[in-house]
Amino acid sequence: MPPRLPRVPQINHKIAAFAAAGVLGLAVFGAIQFFGDPDAAGPRRIVSLQPNGAEASAAPRIDFSEAVAGEDMQIFDLGDLPPHGEVGEIGADGELRVAIVESTPTRASTPPLPRAPFTGMTEQGPNGPLPIVAANGRTPAQAYARPFNSAGDRPVIAVVIGGLGFNAAATTQAIDELPAEVTLSFVPYASNLQNWIDRARARGHEVLLELPMEPFDPDADDTGPQTLLASAPTAQNISRLEQLLSRGAGYFGVTNYQGARFATSAQASQPIVQALNRRGLVFISSGIGQRTALSVEAGRAGLANTAADRIIDARREAEAIDEQLLNLEALALQNQSALGAGFAYPVTMEQVGRWARDLNGRGYQLAPASAVLNARAARR
């Protein structure tokens, strides 16, 4: 009788399939660990960011400890940053692609103005810090104005854009898109006023604070609860002035918002301009006339002041604004300087931006309003 052969076990085909799949998976995993995955979502080539010898030798260097010790170092929240940056993605081929995204027109890099207030240039008032002249005699008008270097005998032209702080989009456009030489004026009632002032100065703009003054028709022109009134007692107007001035810091002077009636009263104007002069500020008027009781009292008080030569957007049309800007050029040729004022309308900012781009090529120099005021004071 032949010997019996050992019994072959029955194979479960499902178990065998799972086992084979597991072996294959382990093999693939091992290969990836050893050789790398050619389809993985990662860069396949390394790009050196090390500058070449010439670039490295020419690049400016600063020690971090020196930067930390600097008095002008500024800190911003993410919301303060301009709306542009870099966007990167990795393509199917594994290569990194970077695109520069700009939501606003580019302009020349401008050093920021230091964050305000400066040490020793404020005192505590009933409603907050108020500007004062420093112990060494330095005034806020000197400290917070944008520095300006005159380019020889070229006529200078300044533009003030006002009504800022209420409309976030318009205010951001003015700060980010207009040349740094353009002076910006802010409504004192604006929420987060100091934040707006900080952002403007960080972009190189000097700043004015708007003082609401009584118009001829208060029903048609609402100037708010802190309006300086022609018929109000002096104590009331001074109290309102201090409330307005304590709303922020970093402005080199003030300008009027409305004020046609207030400007006719020497009695109401005198204590206001005297208070502004004691605090080391200046006054730039617009839309209330070149010579008013207000401007006469400012001169008597020793308050440095000047008036805008043109309201550039009395007609809110591109061609009309261009015409007024050309009028400023003609006045600058005649008088060595010119000063225009406008509102933060989109069309105004668009036309001013275009006009300013080639102003230098036409033989003029764009200047901050403080520079025009100083030049006029020097010629008197």
Q: Which of 64-73, 147-156, 311-320 has the lowest mean pLDDT?
A: 64-73
Q: Evaluate whether 230 touches 269 at the Cβ level (below 8 Å).
A: no
CATH class, range 123-379:
alpha beta
The residue that leads in pLDDT, 77 or 160, is 160
Q: Which of 84-88, 331-335, 365-369 has the lowest mean pLDDT?
A: 84-88
- For 4-11, what is the mean pLDDT? 50
The residue that leads in pLDDT, 168 or 13, is 168
* Pair of tokens at residue 174: 């003015």
Centre a 10 Å sphere on the Cβ of residue 83 and count the other Cβ atoms it contains: 10
Of 343, 346, 313, 315, the C-alpha closest to 328 is 313
pLDDT number for residue 42:
39
Query: Each residue of 199-252: pLDDT tens digit?
Result: 999 999 999 999 999 999 998 889 999 999 999 999 999 999 999 999 999 999
Of 301, 292, 276, the C-alpha closest to 140 is 276
Query: Each residue of 122-154: pLDDT tens digit?
Result: 999 999 999 999 999 999 999 999 999 998 889
Taking the alpha carbons at both ends of the chain, their separation in whole angstroms is 138
* Per-residue 3-state assignment (H helix, E strand, C coil) for the chain: CCCCCCCCCCCCHHHHHHHHHHHHHHHHHHHHHHHCCCCCCCCCCCCCCCCCHHHHHHCCCCCHHHHHHCCCCCCCCHHHCCCEEEEEEECCCCCEEEEEEECCCCCCCCCCCCCCCCCCCEEEECCEEEECCCCCCCCHHHHHCCCCCCCCCCCEEEEEEEEECCCHHHHHHHHHHCCCCCEEEECCCCCCHHHHHHHHHHCCCCEEEEEEECCCCCCCCCCCCCCECCCCCHHHHHHHHHHHHCCCCCCCEEEEEECCCHHHCHHHHHHHHHHHHHCCCEEEECCCCCCCHHHHHHHHHCCCEEECCEECCCCCCHHHHHHHHHHHHHHHHHHCEEEEEEECCHHHHHHHHHHHHCCHHHCCEECCHHHHHHHHHHHC
User: Omega before 117 cis (within 30°)?
Assistant: yes
pLDDT number for residue 86:
44
- Alpha-carbon torsion angle 365, 368, 371, 377, nearest 10: 110
Q: Evaluate whether 263 touches 288 at the Cβ level (below 8 Å).
A: yes
For the chain, domain boundaries: 123-379
Considering Cα of 304, then 310, then 314, then 318, what sign does the dihedral take? negative
Q: Which of 70-74, 91-95, 159-163, 266-270 has the lowest mean pLDDT?
A: 70-74
Query: Each residue of 164-202: pLDDT tens digit?
Result: 999 999 999 999 999 999 999 999 999 999 999 999 999
The backbone torsions φ and ψ at residue 244, rounded to the nearest 5 degrees and listed phi first, read -65, -45
Return d(Cα 302, Cα 273) in angstroms, integer: 9
The backbone torsions φ and ψ at residue 186, rounded to the nearest 5 degrees and listed phi first, read -115, 145
Are β-strands 84-90 and 96-102 bridged in parallel, bridged antiparallel, or unpaired? antiparallel
Question: Considering the entire predicted model, what is its pTM?
Answer: 0.73
